[in-house]
Structure 1
Amino acid sequence: MARPEEFGRLRELLLASDPGKSVAITTALRGAGGLGKTTLATALCHDPEIRKAHPDGVLWTTLGQQPDLPTALARLIETLTGEPAAVRDVEDGSRRLADELAGRPCLLVLDDVWDAAHLRPFLRGAVRCTRLVTTRQFEVAVEARRVEVDAMTPEQGVAMLLSRVEASDATYGSFLSLARRLGEWPLLLELAGSALRLRVARGDSIEGALDYLNRGLDRKGVDVLARPKSGERNDSFAASIGLSTDLLEAEDRRRFTELAIFPEDVDIPLAAAAALWGLDDYEAEELSQRLADLSLLRLDLRAQTLSLHDVIRAYLADEVSDPAPLHARLLDSWGDLHQLPDAYAWRWLAYHLIHAGRQEVLRGLLLDPRWLSKKLQAADSNALLADFEALRGDPELALVEGAIRLSAHALSRDASLFAGQMIGRLHGSESAAIRDFLPRVQRNQRGPWLRPLAEALTPPGGALIRTLEGGGGGIRAVAASADGRRALSGSSDGTLRLWDLDSGTSIRTFEGCGGGVLAVAMSADGRRAVSGSDDGTLRLWDLDAHAPIRELEGHGGPVRAVAASADGRRAVSGSDDGTLRLWDLDSGVSIRTLEGHEGRLRAVAMSTDGRRAVSGSDDGTLRLWDLDAHAPIRELEGHGGPVRAVAASADGRRAVSGSDDGTLRLWDLDSGVSIRTLEGHEGRLRAVAMSADGRRAVSSSDDGTLRLWDLDSLASIRTLKGGGGIRAVAASADGRRAVSGSEDGTLRLWDLDSLASMHTFEACSGQVRAVAASADGRRAVSNDDDGTLRLWDLDSGASIRTLPNRRTGMNAVAASGDCRLVLCGFNDGTLSLWDLGSGSLIRPLEGHDGPVLALAMSADGRRAVSGLTDGTLRFWDLDSGESISTRAGHRDWVLAVTASADGRRAVSGSYGGTLKLWDLDSGASIRTLPNRRTGMNAVAASGDCRLVLCGFNDGTLSLWDLGSDALLLRIEGHDDRVTTLAMSADGRRAVSGSDDRTMKVWDLGTGILLAEFVGDGPYHACAIADDAVTIVAGDLLGRVQFLRLEGV
């Protein structure tokens, strides 16, 4: 039915030339449905002028009250590309949709949107794409140009009724009365018109049909015009729908009512309806057509689906007194729950099981590795995690759910990683159910995969809630909303990301910071933020919109610190120019420049009312400022190095600061007294956050840990391994949640109240920089960056012997074939040879003038070669401890060296890209493979040193034949730099590790990836035993992992 006034206004807005515009169709009557918004949107999509203005076509998605956003985004991407699309999360889907829409003049219709947060992922970028939004909620599209669509005019109501039947002018008054009685509401008019048409088709006259309909409305008490209140209006809706269903045969009416068991705003497969009804495909389609003829549902024969208006579905739900048997009937029709018929069944199986009262069946599936794997392949990790929600409180399920949640970043990349992730995280569980679960996980896995032989990953039940992959560069800054549900991270690539911490999804990415982001602050409600960049500017952001509100200029150097008042109206920033600036964020005006520090500003914190601030500087002091008077109150001294971090209580009376001297200090700001020095970290402090009441703090350090502090008792409550290079930390106002950001581009969400944990596997005290495996695959040796050596038993995963730190600065380790002899290289140019069997030092070796970066040892432990930063190599006789020779082999750092199995050859590689083959006995150079690429970080060789694999900064691998100088393979291997390599003695397989937190096994005959393992931290060490299936890996979290290649 045409609605020319509303149609014309909407058409004009859609044809306006504003780039990236959004237009909303809404209602004045809050929450009202059935007014024709969707119908009007459909008509607009068919308008020739609108289609001409959008030559790349029209896209449509219906969201509803509880939308599956990743699926909706994926379907739009599939429509645009013509290929299946799997999106990891909402942020991934939003970014990819924006990329596909970029440059396309098209119309995107977003129908039945209930929440502004649901709308945001579809509004990103793509300035040539027009968005048309339909919603019942005024708040959903506040930034869009809106047109209100409410009841029709009486004349339009009559026209809608007459569109379904032919009538004489004499009956016009009767149709007008009926339209008014139905409140001119399009849905009711549509139902009434369809009922009239059916009566006439059965032989009744127009007058008789009108009389029948009015008598039916009288009996059911329907008069929308006389019942304007929401509840009474809904009663009229129900009665009107009931009048239409009265026209159905009893069996059809019963089957129609049964559709109430399907979720709202979901396209119901005809096959599912047929199964529920006990009909074949033809019969189900015939019934659906009869229901569609009465406007009780929409039938899409092309998609083979039917759908219900949510007003009609609500009516049906009230009609079904006991839905459980209906859910059970549908479930029974699906048969084997491991072989579900379609995407609908996989997505909604748990919903139907719960409503059928079959909680135990669902529990069994959630502990069934075969079903879990199939669900991951059919849906994604977020859809699977949603299935656990209904059975929250079950301790065994909580462990599996926790393991999946911690692994979501890996499983979203590749569902086949499920077995390795589950075994790696749950291996230490003492639960009988988990002990039964893990062998079934192993048996269910197909194809080559890496099986952890011992605990390898962060287990569930501890403080770590989830890992969030941010993409882009390293995270330099992070801020959190007061309730701890939103976070904003700033990266070295110049982007900001807004996160939903409950779901672990990235809501939006903001670009245009003008340089790497060094600082961020957020208002308490999480809706406003201010960022500081290395280009010296600040930017104010509306986090519910797409672009910065304004740019703030004035500093003469990079802005390293920023803090905001709770209401987001004031901010203070600190810069390398040594000054603080106070800003009015509403106007963008710099109120005052505050001077006093004698070094660059590193940190600043502000009281929630914006009246006090405390700053930290490279001059080692803190200063307390009165921001109303624009004056310093006092200087705080005590640290023995630059102050990099500071946090303050909400009232501005307490502060905690972190310094390069490795300590935290708690301050009473009223008196300027340092209450206590807090020690425990073993590296310079990078970040600190404090609860609003000043009773808790969490700090991060270069030692790779987070520490939680009780500021009342002045004690460290617990230490958390937070990943390599933690640069930022933020906490919720109550101090119960924290989020940390790392150089590897990840954020980690922490539950600071969770003190319970599973059995924790033994970890090293520092980052693992080197590992070696015995030839028989039964022993391994590792070194920490604090100088500790450990001998490991691979069968049990236990540390057999530890040689405690005696010296720092250990860079490299090499071991004999049986791992009994170990050679260590240090920053001061010395080496130490150890006997791990006895734990004794055999001898020191001296002669280098610079740091030792690389070592290799012959399998018999009699020869070794070391590489230095100056490009030289030294060859050693380990029996005597004497240097055989020194060779100036490279023009750049020697980062890698490896020895042949027989101890006669060695290969070295430099950062500059040069490879050299050496005679290990004489130290003579046999062959040089000239520089072809720079950025080489790692080298591995076959047992005879004929095949050499190189790893580079760009994540690629190159395989060379040193006999012919031929490049055999180039592999696009990793998403970040390759840091470590190992090759089997026969040269058929290789293992690579990277800062992208993956360990990968390659078939060097074909260059094919055989298996992958995703860890919790960057890998910087790996080794492979002679069996070519046993692998040892070390990461920057201090973990040594033992993996076995299965399925080959």
Structure 2
Amino acid sequence: MSEQPRGAGRVPTGYAAETFISEYTFRQAHRAIEGNPDASNAKKRKREGKGDPSIVNGPGAYKGPWAKYEAERPDALSEDEFGEDEEVEYIYEEDEIEENPAPAPKKLAGTDYRDIEAEGETSEFVGSQQYDYQGRTYMHIPNDLDIKLTGDRGDTKNFIPKKHIHTFKYHTKSITQVRFFPGSGHLLLSASADTKIALWDVYHQRELLRTYSGHTKSVNDIDFSPDGTQFLSASYDRFMKLWDTETGKCLKKFSTGKTPHVLRFNPSSPHEFLSGMSDKKILQWDTRSGEMVQEYDHHLGAINTITFCDEDRRFVTTSDDKSVRAWEWGIPVPIKFIAEPHMFALVRSSAHPSGKYIAFQGSDNEITVYSSTDKFRQNRKKGYRGHNVAGYAPDVAISPDGNFVSSGDSGGYVCFWDWKTCKMYHKIQAGDAPILAVQWHPRETSRVVTGDLSGVLKYWD
């Protein structure tokens, strides 16, 4: 017998010896392992129904291939007792498994089909005083201040803030959006990735007034109605909710089963709003009926921004498809389409107070400007650089007098540029985490609020 070559049969886990086995013996062993239904040690388990593909949440929701197995069933069940679409799994038990049962697998968030709608919305007043001596709530615009919060703003000029004057503390995760109360700015609404929405007093004690809970995942956008009595919230739990600002009651819920990324009330039609969705569609909703009344479906990627222009008769949208599209209100065909090879995705937007321009935050560390009149084209002379976006989507905001452009920065700065010259005026170190939300106060000359990735809201003057 010839000597075996050195190292023959060695494998990383030990030594493998060559052996011969008849086909009959191999097939018998293979059948025993691969699921012979007649094997004495196999138990059948039935799968739950796959559900109805048209239902997203709740009882009977679509589960598809993620349907779980029901509790173990007796061996006596015949194949006929299982549904046509239902799969059967055979489990082979050994004595060792019974002695040392494996730990139950953790339930994954993606396959957790609990009924989100059943989790109710709650709101709590946490301020020091709900009514003043005349029985008015915080909705009443204060007139005991040294600044007039009603009427025409006039020719008030804006200045760049210099110092930090207050910190609003409540949120535990990233601030996603902040909004001042329309017109007066005496209240501030903030949304966060901790699923909560908070309402703050901007004057007097600058305290937390009311919290709104009801979303189960990060809230990614909020928007006040034109009169401020209601506001909308959008969340990654795929719901959009309409809230009463004063009572905290959730008035309506809207959902298509897709994630809403951006929401905007039509300023001239306060009972209608637009939502930009993750499935490339822009949807128009009526808050009175709760129904969707129009669908704008031309983008090729998730919607990032919606900006009204031309006295709210038109709006401009941007998307992950790196394009800009302009639409007539109510007509589902774009009137202008801009897509250049050098363009990057535009992630946030702000309309200029003059109504002639829209500034967009690009993911290439540049704020670009497009005209929002009939031409809808890029203003090549205006570009604001010097800040770093680094994969985030920091807000861009233009001062109420139109002279300054401001933006957040991934290094914790707030950057200010001159609108006309495009030169960076000033950079404020507003925190250690990236600054994602920036808004100018609609009435004050130099007040700005910022929100960062760690959940801190700061007020500047």
The answer, yes or no, to whether TM exceeds 0.5 is yes
User: Is this contact kept in 1: 2:344–2:364, CA < 8 A?
Assistant: no
Mapping of 1:231-310 within 5 angstroms? none
User: In structure 1, what is the equivalent of residue 363 of structure 2?
Assistant: 953
8 A contact 1:1000–1:1013 mirrored in 2 = yes
Q: CA deviation at 1:841?
A: 0.7
CA distance in 1, matches of 2:312, 2:207: 30
Q: Give the whole-Å Cα distance in 2 for the aligned partners of 1:454 and 1:1004.
A: 25
Q: Secondary structure at the match of 1:933?
A: coil
Quote the residue 1:773 is aligned against: 180
Aligned residue number for residue 450 of structure 1:
161
Report matched runs for 1:27-106 at 5 Å.
Answer: none
In the alignment, which residue of structure 2 is the partner of 1:928? 337
Give the corresponding residue for 1:1007.
Answer: 422
The code of the aligned residue for 1:914 comes to S
1:854-890 per-residue CA deviation (whole Å, 9 max, x = no partner) reads 5455377433211122321112223333222111232
SS at match of 1:979: coil
User: In structure 2, which of residues 350, 354, 378 is the aligned counterpart of residue 940 of structure 1?
Assistant: 350
Tell me how far 1:837 sits from its aligned partner.
Answer: 0.9
The 5 Å alignment of 1:421-460 reads: 448-451=159-162, 454-456=165-167
1:827 aligns with 2:242: no
Change (3 A) 1:887 1:832: same
Closer, same or farther: CA 452–861 of 1 in aligned 2, 3 Å: farther
| Structure 1 residues 763 and 1014, CA gap change in structure 2 (3 angstroms) | farther
Q: What is aligned with 1:762?
A: 169
Q: 1:956 to 1:812 in 2, by over 3 A?
A: same
Structure 1 residues 777 and 898: CA distance shift in structure 2, 3 A: same
- In structure 2, the CA distance between the partners of 1:838 and 1:900, relative to structure 1 (3 Å rule), is farther
Q: 1:785 aligns with which of 193, 197, 210?
A: 193
Map residues 178-577 of structure 1 onto 2, 5 A cutoff.
Answer: 448-451=159-162, 454-456=165-167
Superposed displacement of residue 969, structure 1: 0.8
- Contact persistence 1:816–1:860 (CA under 8 A): no
Q: What are the equivalent positions in structure 2 for 1:481-880 lying under 5 Å apart?
A: 761-774=168-181, 775-795=183-203, 796-847=205-256, 849-853=258-262, 855=264, 858=267, 861-880=270-289
CA distances 1:602-628 after superposition (whole Å, capped 9, x unpaired) = xxxxxxxxxxxxxxxxxxxxxxxxxxx
- Partner letter of residue 251 of structure 2? I
In structure 1, the gaps of 5 or more residues are 1-446, 457-760
Displacement of 1:781 in angstroms is 0.7
Q: 1:920 Cα deviation (Å)?
A: 3.7
Q: CA separation in 2, counterparts of 1:955 and 1:965?
A: 17
Letter in 2 for 1:769: T
> After superposition, what is the alpha-carbon deviation per residue over 1:545-591, rounded to whole angstroms, capped at 9, x for unaligned?
xxxxxxxxxxxxxxxxxxxxxxxxxxxxxxxxxxxxxxxxxxxxxxx
Q: How far has the Cα of 1:992 moved from its partner?
A: 0.9
Please tell me whether residue 1032 in structure 1 is matched to residue 431 in structure 2: no
The 3-state SS of whatever aligns with 2:247 is coil
Q: 1:862 is paired with a residue of what secondary structure?
A: strand
Does 1:966 pair with 2:379?
yes
SS in 2 for 1:898: strand
CA distance in 2, matches of 1:921, 1:1030: 36
Structure 2 CA distance for aligned equivalents of residues 1011 and 975 of structure 1: 15
Secondary structure at the counterpart of residue 394 of structure 2: strand
Partner residue of 2:49? none
Asked if the contact 2:160/2:446 (under 8 Å) is kept, the reply is no
Alignment correspondent of 1:981: 396
TM-score, normalised via structure 1 length: 0.26
The AA in structure 1 aligned to 2:453 is L
Q: Tell me the residue number matched to 1:1042.
A: 459
Equivalent residue in structure 2 for 1:887, among 286, 293, 296: 296
- Secondary structure (helix, strand or coil) at the match of 1:776 reads coil
Find 2:437's aligned residue among 1003, 1021, 1030. Answer: 1021
- For 1:710, the equivalent position in structure 2 comes to none
Amino acid of the structure 2 residue aligned with 1:455: H
Assess if the C-alpha contact under 8 Å between 2:403 and 2:419 holds in 1.
yes
In the alignment, the residues of structure 2 paired with residue 878 and residue 923 of structure 1 have an alpha-carbon distance, to the nearest angstrom, of 20
Secondary structure of residue in 2 paired with 1:450: coil
1:186-237 superposed Cα distances (whole Å, 9 cap, x missing partner): xxxxxxxxxxxxxxxxxxxxxxxxxxxxxxxxxxxxxxxxxxxxxxxxxxxx
Distance 1:860 1:884, change over 3 A: closer
RMSD: 2.8
Contact 1:955 1:976 in 2 (8 A): yes
The answer as to whether partners of 2:216 and 2:237 remain within 8 angstroms in 1 is: no
Looking at structure 2, the residues matched to 856 and 841 of structure 1 have their Cα atoms a distance apart, in angstroms, of 17
Cα deviation, 1:389-415, whole Å, max 9, x if unaligned, reads: xxxxxxxxxxxxxxxxxxxxxxxxxxx
Q: For 1:266-306, what per-residue CA distance to the aligned partner results, in whole angstroms no more than 9, with x for missing partners?
A: xxxxxxxxxxxxxxxxxxxxxxxxxxxxxxxxxxxxxxxxx
Q: Shift of residue 985 of structure 1?
A: 5.5
Distance 1:996 1:883 in 2: 40
> CA separation of 1:917/1:803 partners in 2, compared to 1, >3 Å: closer, same or farther?
same
The separation in 1 between residues aligned to 2:411 and 2:363, in whole angstroms, is 11
CA–CA separation in structure 2 for the residues paired with 1:770 and 1:905 = 24
Report the equivalent of 2:57: none
| CA drift at 1:984 | 4.0
Q: TM-score when scaled to structure 2?
A: 0.57
Report the residue type matching 2:457 in the other structure. Answer: V
Contiguous gaps of at least 5 residues in structure 2 = 1-157
Q: CA deviation at 1:803?
A: 1.2
Q: Is the 8 A contact 2:263 2:273 kept in 1?
A: no
The corresponding residue for 1:176 is none
Contact 2:305-2:318 within 8 A present in 1 as well? yes
Residue 991 of structure 1 is matched in structure 2 by 406
Query: How many Å apart are 1:1036 and its aligned residue?
Result: 1.1
**Structure 1 pair 985/808, CA: closer, same or farther in 2 (3 Å)?**
same
Q: Which has the higher helix share?
A: 1
Pairwise CA distance, 1:986: 5.6
Name the CA distance, whole Å, in 2 between partners of 1:882 and 1:985: 34
Shift of 1:902: 4.8
Q: Deviation of residue 448 (structure 1)?
A: 4.9
